[in-house]
């Protein structure tokens, strides 16, 4: 791998930043939400919940990149009468990591995203994933990205399609005891 991971990225509405110790608790709450956890590629028990923050921090230390913590840069409006998401709200993560939980794909960089249920339906996952994709290809000079998506997860499939990804194949996920879709995207050819 070449290039260096940025400490942060900014989009119109989001700050993608390195993890802070205070992010562990809100990420644990996001991972516990039944709708968020419904299509995860590995079980989320108490040990996994407790270890997630350490995992992403260690990935950054080892590889110089990883999933970023997501934070609202400004108030993000909701449709209808729901209150806006205030600036500084922790929203989840998006970024690239090696999927060591799936040995068949452990050497291929995986782009992933996970947002709080309250942040769904606003295009935030796509906004964050597009920034992470562009950084992976432009700054990290990764040759490809994969996304490992549960075949029934329509929301993540739509995000992957907006990134330009296509289903490459299915692989057996022994943690789920089922096949999952591998979406792939090669880095754009140099001009």
What's the CATH code of the domain at 60? 3.40.630.30
Number of domains, the chain: 1
- Backbone dihedral angles phi then psi of residue 186, each to the nearest 5 degrees: -85, 150
Residue 179 counted as domain residue:
yes
Residue 74 counted as domain residue:
yes
The whole-model pTM stands at: 0.91
Query: Which of the four pLDDT bands, split at 50, 70 and 90, describes residue 177?
Result: confident
Distance CA 99, CA 177 (A): 17
Residue 26 counted as domain residue:
yes
Which pLDDT belongs to residue 156?
97
Ordered alpha helix ranges (H), 21-163: 24-32, 34-37, 46-63, 124-138, 154-162
Q: What is the mean pLDDT of the chain?
A: 90
Interval 104-126: pLDDT, tens? 999 999 999 999 999 999 999 99
Distance CA 144, CA 164 (A): 12
Q: Can you give the residue range of the structural domain that contains 129?
A: 9-78+85-186
Residue 119 counted as domain residue:
yes
Q: Are the beta carbons of 38 and 17 closer than 8 angstroms?
A: no
Interval 56-111: pLDDT, tens? 999 999 999 999 999 999 999 876 666 789 999 999 999 999 999 899 999 999 99
């Amino acid at each position: 791998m070449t290039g260096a991971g940025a400490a942060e990225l900014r989009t119109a509405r989001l700050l993608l930043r390195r993890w802070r110790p205070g992010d562990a608790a809100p990420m644990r709450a996001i991972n516990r939400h039944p709708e968020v956890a419904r299509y995860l590629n590995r079980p989320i028990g108490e040990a996994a919940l407790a270890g997630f923050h350490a995992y992403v921090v260690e990935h950054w230390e080892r590889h110089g990149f990883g999933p970023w913590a997501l934070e609202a840069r400004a108030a993000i409006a909701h449709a209808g009468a729901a209150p806006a998401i205030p600036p500084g709200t922790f929203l989840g993560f998006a970024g690239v990591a090696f999927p060591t939980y799936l040995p068949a794909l452990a050497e291929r960089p995986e782009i992933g995203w996970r947002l709080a249920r309250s942040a769904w339906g606003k295009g935030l996952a796509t906004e964050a994933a597009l920034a992470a994709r562009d950084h992976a290809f432009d700054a990290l000079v990764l040759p490809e990205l994969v996304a490992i998506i549960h075949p029934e997860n329509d929301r993540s499939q739509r995000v992957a399609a907006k990134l330009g990804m296509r289903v490459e194949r299915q692989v057996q996920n022994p943690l789920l005891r089922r096949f999952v879709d591998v979406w792939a995207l090669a880095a754009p050819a140099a001009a």
